[in-house]
Amino acid sequence: MRLLFCLFCLFFFQIKITAQVINIESKRFLQDTNGFIGKADLNFNINQNISQVISLGVNIHSQYVHNKHRILAIGDLAFIKAGKQDFVNSGYQHFRYNYKLSHILTWEAFVQAQYNRILLLDRRYLAGTGPRFKLIKQPNFRAYTAVLYMYEYQSQNNDSIEAYNNRISSYLTLSLSSKKVEFTSTTFYQPNLANFNDFRIANDTAFEIIITGHFNFKVGFNLLYDTKQPIGIPDLTYILKNGLSYKF
């Protein structure tokens, strides 16, 4: 019963337990007009049967746009514990600034703090900057790419391993929408500049089909290949989720 409840929480709240490369592209608001926009999600559950199951999810997402300036701030926390066992224990905070230099070029700068206890990532601090290019922007299709410099500090395996790295954080993001289909996909490549055998490849893809005016079918896929995962964690981790959503 405890395991079934935890699996239900993972599905219902759609917690990405494998994510160590955060897809900020999926968090951007598409609104380009001046002003502030934001949303906040909170869930908290306690289930007491054979043992106590606690689940907590918090997500705060805000954006401010003024002419050529855009500020994006995101906070996310996910926690599921059954008895003394953690099924999910992760979180991150991300702050990003964009300055639009031209209709195709935007300069980005960001900082991020992150942890994932299940994947033995105790702390990861990031700071980076670089250009972002608009490849295509049509009403139904958008494509962007970026090549950013990123400085990284991380501590893993109960603080027994520490690393300071200079990386390239590059990505390609695609989005396609129509009256019946919505598709988004972002692929990241993050090599270590001192050792190109140390790299991460991550993909975050979502596909949604509108069945009726109220029912949608959704499929999501998250993949991470990291050649320097914490000891005991496989290089390749992924999660596939699908389900129905009802709008009323």
**Over the stretch 187-212, which tens digit does the pLDDT of each residue have?**
999 999 999 999 999 998 988 888 88
**CATH number of the CATH domain containing 25:** 2.40.160
| Structural domains counted in the chain | 1
Residue 219 has pLDDT above 50, yes or no: yes
Q: What is the pLDDT of residues 234-243, one digit of tens each?
A: 999 888 878 8
Q: With 90 as the cut, is the pLDDT of residue 101 above it?
A: yes
- For residue 13, what pLDDT is reported? 41
Residue ranges making up the domain that contains 226: 2-246
Give the percent of the chain with pLDDT over 70.
85
50-85 pLDDT, tens digit each:
677 788 888 888 899 999 999 999 888 888 877 777
pLDDT value of residue 1: 46
In this prediction, residue 172 carries a pLDDT of 95
What's the alpha-carbon Rg for the chain, to the nearest Å?
19
Over the chain, what is the mean pLDDT? 83
- pTM value? 0.77
Other CB atoms within 10 A of residue 28 CB: 17
Residue 10 pLDDT exceeds 90: no
8 A C-beta contact, residue 10 and residue 18? no
Top-confidence range, 15-24, 59-68, 85-94: 59-68
pLDDT above 90: percentage of residues in the chain? 42
